[in-house]
Amino acid sequence: MSQVDKQALREAALNAKIAGEAPVMPFDKRIDALNAFTKLLTPVTAIALLDENESLAAENADLKHPRTYLPSKITTAETDAFINEMMAQGVEMLAKKCSENVWCEDDVNFMLCYAKQLREGKA
């Protein structure tokens, strides 16, 4: 696709519009303005502009609805294992703090068992 000079096309379109709306303009100037516009707006240029418009409209629709553009949740085995390890370490830290205070040994053992289950992906 060739690069479209949009500014030149815009100026030619404005001149052609004025020529079409101003019947008092000399005939040769009206024809020159219309010819300049049709030289710039070839079928190839029109198709390129329409394709660009469709592409931008699709991109805009994707940006308005991010769930169609990007996955809402990315999960991998490595990510899940890392998160489970972090949670297990947190539970172990809590169990250690609780064991230093007056806590039931069964509660601390439950916390340690839960940390183990987290690491195994069973929690």
48-49-52-56 Cα dihedral, nearest 10 degrees: -170
Of the candidates 34, 38, 37, 40, the one whose C-alpha atom is nearest the C-alpha of residue 2 is 40
Per residue in 30-56, pLDDT (tens digit) is 888 888 888 888 888 888 888 898 999
Judge if pTM exceeds 0.85.
no
**Model confidence at 86, in pLDDT bands (50, 70, 90)?**
very high
Residues with Cβ < 8 Å from 23, sequence gap 6 or more? none
Of the candidates 121, 45, 112, 38, the one whose C-alpha atom is nearest the C-alpha of residue 76 is 121
**Model confidence at 1, in pLDDT bands (50, 70, 90)?**
very low
Query: What are the residue ranges spanned by the domains of the chain?
Result: 6-69, 77-120
Distance of alpha carbon 30 from alpha carbon 71, whole angstroms: 55
